[in-house]
Amino acid sequence: MAKTLFQRIADGEIPAKLVHQDDRCVAFHDIAPQAPVHILVVPRAPVARIAEATPAHAELVGHLLLVAARVAADQGLRDGFRLVVNNGRHGGETVPHLHVHLLGGRPLGWPPG
């Protein structure tokens, strides 16, 4: 199977503006930001999407959320932020590698479009 774009970023084969990396995930600025802060938290493991995560991934999924919250604090998002996981066509997923969007730096509308 060909590597996904995010797998190649996690493996250091494609450059990205990294803000965090550890043994389980990387976090980097989205190339087309939808808010003043728009960062993606991506596992190193090739999980396609949250619907394909299994109980074996529970600790990893929790880690992604905790990293996102820590990065939000690092980015100074004291007034709040949003975490988003798009899944499948109706969910707006375009890259088939699990990722958590961290959005902040302005008030975010609800409900999303």
Residues that bind ligand AMP (CB under 6 A): 5, 16, 30-32, 40, 86, 92-95
What's the closest the beta carbon of residue 28 comes to ligand AMP, in angstroms? 6
Confirm if 81 and 101 have CB atoms less than 8 A apart.
no
Nearer to ligand AMP, 10 or 77 (CB): 10
What strand order describes the sheet that includes 25-29? Answer: 18-21, 25-29, 37-43, 100-104, 81-84
Q: Where in the sequence numbering do the catalytic residues fall?
A: 99
Cβ-proximal residue to ligand AMP, closest one: 86
